[in-house]
Structure 1
Amino acid sequence: MAESVPVRCPVCRREHLYAAPAYPCACGTPVAPPLVRGAPAVPITHRTWADAWVSARCPSCGRRDQWPQPELGCACGTALRIPVRSVASGPQQSSVPPLHIPLPPTGPAPRPAFHPVTIRTGRDAVTAAALYLKWLGYRDVRQVEQRGGHSVGLHAPGLVARVEPSTRRTTLRHVETLWLSALADSAVPVHFSLAGYTDEARARADTLAVPLFVLDLTGTPQPVNSPADELVTTGGPD
């Protein structure tokens, strides 16, 4: 199991206990990037694809590979990058998308573990969102055409979702447009974003009860507001 280290948010001063997620090496051994204990977490204001990966070496076979940069989202809304010791260049920090620790699914029939797909392209982000919606219980998830912009629409019976795979944060207008579309179809609106949301967008989503998710590079959507937490807990229509 990966070592847990204390992480303090420099904005709100909240304390977190964080352990880097482990991913299987080609030889099958779980590998987690080594965290730098005591190094301060850094708020994320900008990120790029090129800097979203760190090097780690398998302790069993010695293979060196690239893994998603460890990341954490504080409850205050600040996205944090966790310092990692690279096998090549010592302490290393990379910019990554924000995270929010989800509530564990509960209910009479627990869902099986979600199996994500690693996000390296915008198409991967759309695929990850579609898989997650199916995991939540929505059937017949399909992609639909969107007019203008970079976002991609996903529809299912009783659901209207939008995926923003660009490196720009989702704005208030996008949240309101999604809510109106879902209202016209008497459907549940759900939004996925790779780069996160503006403060105005998050506040409006809370008012309209629009679930917001951020996609991390492992392909696991992370809820960033209470409506999203509730959706994870209750699941879709199934």
Structure 2
Amino acid sequence: MARDDILVRCPVCRHEQTYAPPAFPCPCGAPVVPPVTHGAATPLTHRTRADAWVTVRCAACGQAADWPRPELGCACGTVLRVPVAQEGTVGAGGRDTSGGAPGDGAGGREAPPEHARPSLTPPHIPLPRTAPTPRAAFRPLPVRDARDAVTTAALFLRWLGYEDVSDAGPEEERPPSGARLTALGVVAQIEPTVRHASLRDVECAWLTAMAHSATCVCFALCDFTPTARTRADELNVALFRIDLTGAPEPLNGAADELTATGA
């Protein structure tokens, strides 16, 4: 077992398995790992935004950010929420190094508010289009209504290489707004109205994709809010805007990369 791995016990079937906590990318470039602990995990029966995220402070730059609470699937079918120690300053190894009260930075200094933190995310820079694409050019269809926008997203996903595209099935996986498409290896959220896709839309889609170890893609007929764009860059979610000609336009680096490489 690696140094940062822990043993997680399922309270339903008592099965124990090794769990490696994920490393999330802080905007400063340092990896941030939630401080998971050994012991029995909690069965997840209902996911809400309030309890699906944990605040972790980066040891390198001191910035606090919300990241998904660690989850793990058991062989018995139970989804487990892995226990997390009291939040603090966490570095690459998932160890608490704050030395202060929860929510304080090093030496007890309070972190600056979210709006006061400098943005370390570079602007979107499209990838060079010098390499030939192995796929034929995407053939768009005009978008006249919301259903056309969802159809365009499905056609584009198939063009990328996701062949078994279908509507989200189980009730718990359907989005709070808009539409959702799934295929092997991808979860796609579509906002087919003139409403700007929100931060909540991006985060909910990403949480679903993470639970299925799938790529997350978001489409919007109009656009995305600034906070949704920023969060998508942090989570490596590909964003596309569908124009009325039916051509999805990549809006960030993840979308450029997905367009260039395909599924």
User: Residues 198 and 106 (structure 1 numbering): CA distance in 2 closer, same or farther, change over 3 Å?
Assistant: same
Report the counterpart of residue 81 of structure 1 in structure 2. none
Contact 1:102 1:222 in 2 (8 A): no
Question: Can you give the 5+ residue segments of structure 2 that lack an aligned partner in the other structure?
Answer: 1-121
Q: TM-score, normalised by structure 2?
A: 0.49
Per the alignment, in what secondary structure is the counterpart of residue 222 of structure 2? coil
Report the counterpart of residue 128 of structure 1 in structure 2. 152
Using the alignment, how far apart are the partners of 2:210 and 2:260 within structure 1?
A: 22
Asked if residue 218 in structure 1 is aligned to residue 245 in structure 2, the reply is: yes
**Equivalent residue letter for 1:139:** E
Using the alignment, how far apart are the partners of 2:130 and 2:151 within structure 1?
A: 21
Contact 1:105 1:232 in 2 (8 A): no
Report the counterpart of residue 233 of structure 1 in structure 2. 260
Q: How big is each residue's C-alpha offset from its partner over 1:112-145, in whole Å with a ceiling of 9 and x where there is no partner?
A: 0111110001000000000001101111111125
Asked if residue 193 in structure 1 is aligned to residue 220 in structure 2, the reply is: yes
Asked if residue 111 in structure 1 is aligned to residue 111 in structure 2, the reply is: no
Report the counterpart of residue 209 of structure 2 in structure 1. 182
Per the alignment, in what secondary structure is the counterpart of residue 175 of structure 1? helix
Report the counterpart of residue 142 of structure 1 in structure 2. 166
Contact 1:102 1:223 in 2 (8 A): no
Contact 1:101 1:222 in 2 (8 A): no
Contact 2:143 2:244 in 1 (8 A): yes
User: Residues 226 and 101 (structure 1 numbering): CA distance in 2 closer, same or farther, change over 3 Å?
Assistant: closer
Q: Rg bigger for which structure?
A: 2
- Please show how residues 61-80 of structure 1 align to structure 2 within 5 Å: none
Question: Can you give the 5+ residue segments of structure 1 that lack an aligned partner in the other structure?
Answer: 1-74, 78-99
Per the alignment, in what secondary structure is the counterpart of residue 189 of structure 2? strand
How large is the Cα RMSD of the aligned pairs? 2.4
**Equivalent residue letter for 1:136:** L
Asked if residue 168 in structure 1 is aligned to residue 195 in structure 2, the reply is: yes
Using the alignment, how far apart are the partners of 1:177 and 1:105 within structure 2?
A: 35
**Equivalent residue letter for 1:180:** L
Deviation at 1:104, TM superposition (A): 3.9
Contact 1:210 1:228 in 2 (8 A): yes
Contact 1:191 1:211 in 2 (8 A): yes
Using the alignment, how far apart are the partners of 2:175 and 2:135 within structure 1?
A: 36
User: Residues 129 and 105 (structure 1 numbering): CA distance in 2 closer, same or farther, change over 3 Å?
Assistant: farther
Contact 2:174 2:180 in 1 (8 A): no
Between the two structures, name the one with larger relative contact order (CA 8 Å, sep ≥ 6). Answer: 1
Runs of 4+ in 1 over 3 A off after TM superposition: 100-107, 145-150
Contact 1:106 1:234 in 2 (8 A): no
Length, aligned pairs only: 139
User: Residues 102 and 142 (structure 1 numbering): CA distance in 2 closer, same or farther, change over 3 Å?
Assistant: farther
Asked if residue 156 in structure 1 is aligned to residue 180 in structure 2, the reply is: no
**Equivalent residue letter for 1:112:** A
